Amino acid sequence: MLYETVGSETYEIGGQNKPYASDVWVYNKLIGKRRKAPIMMVARKNPLTCSLDGKLYMWEVYRAKFGESICKIDEVWYSYDQRECWWYDTKCRKWRLVRGLTELCRRFSRELGVKIGSYGGKLVIFWVGPALYPFLGTSRIWCAVILLKKHCGRYNEVWGQVEWADIVLTAPWSHTVRLRCVKSVQ
């Protein structure tokens, strides 16, 4: 089951123990009640969701283009598509490339398990790198912390600057990277 919050309502999407489900429930925290919402027209397996400008978006067909990892930092959506890092420009309603990360993206573009998230207003990227000792059945999980700068002007752009990148964990090949956007407490 997937949960996504928009305003005071939390949407429960999908069913328990069902590979494909079209059920949607809504819990309103202001009145403390749960209600059944209209079902999705197409049942989805592990849908990707996000909320933007008070609306709930859900898809799986865009995964090939926008990746399986998406997060929101300072009201801007970011995604990674196995080649590049993108941000969503709400003014022209299209995805744009995050500038300045070409070298970093080239470093892990062929790797598996790339996930992004937020920490302290910065973008974090995790990816599974090649094994240091393949015969031991382990892989290396890398992390990069990216400072983001939005340049508004004639060309609306977001630039990323790598502050830090290194191996953070050596794990068995059978691992799964699970990452959700989090807000840091300051």
Residue 119 is classified by DSSP as E
CA distance linking residue 68 with residue 57, whole number of Å: 14
Check residue 133 and give its pLDDT.
Answer: 61
pLDDT tens for each residue of 71-108 = 888 878 888 876 788 888 877 778 888 999 888 877 76
Check residue 47 and give its pLDDT.
Answer: 64
Phi, psi of 134, deg, nearest 5: -55, -30
Check residue 183 and give its pLDDT.
Answer: 43
Residue 110 binned pLDDT confidence (cut-offs 50, 70, 90): low
Residue 159 binned pLDDT confidence (cut-offs 50, 70, 90): very high
Contact between 99 and 160 (Cβ < 8 Å): yes
pLDDT tens for each residue of 9-29 = 888 887 655 656 678 889 999
Over residues 40-69, mean pLDDT: 61
Over residues 132-136, mean pLDDT: 63
Contact between 104 and 89 (Cβ < 8 Å): no
Q: Where are the beta strands (DSSP E) in 9-100?
A: 9-13, 24-28, 33-36, 48-52, 55-59, 69-73, 76-80, 85-89, 94-97
What percentage of the chain exceeds 90 in pLDDT? 16
pTM for the model stands at: 0.61
The mean of the pLDDT values for the chain is 76
Over residues 113-131, mean pLDDT: 81
